[in-house]
Structure 1
């Protein structure tokens, strides 16, 4: 158990001293970019899904 606690404390120490964290403004900017991209991707996925629904409905109406 002592090895595990030592590992965790060393990991936190390394995160504090050796990792370069981005500035808060950059984090906010990148978060907005990811959110916008996610919404656009979701809308595109919805659009393609609706296109396939209409195409399949049309196909099945033709073969009826």
Structure 2
């Protein structure tokens, strides 16, 4: 159990002392950019899925008629 505690303690020390953290304003800016890209990419994926679903439905309706 002591090994786990030492590992966690050393990890926190490493994060605090040896990692260079970005300024908070930069993190917020990039978070907004990623969020916007995620929404756009999700809408594009939904649009392509809808088009293909309608195309496949139309194809099978055309075959069955």
CA distance, structure 2, for counterparts of residue 8 and residue 61 of structure 1:
60
Runs of 4+ residues over 3 Å off in structure 1: none
Alignment of 1:10-21 (within 5 A): 10-21=10-21
- TM-score of the two chains, using structure 2 as the length reference: 0.90
- TM-score of the two chains, using structure 1 as the length reference: 0.91
Unaligned runs of 5+ in 2: none
Number of residue-to-residue matches in the alignment? 64
CA distance, structure 1, for counterparts of residue 3 and residue 61 of structure 2:
68
Unaligned runs of 5+ in 1: none
Shift of 1:15: 0.7
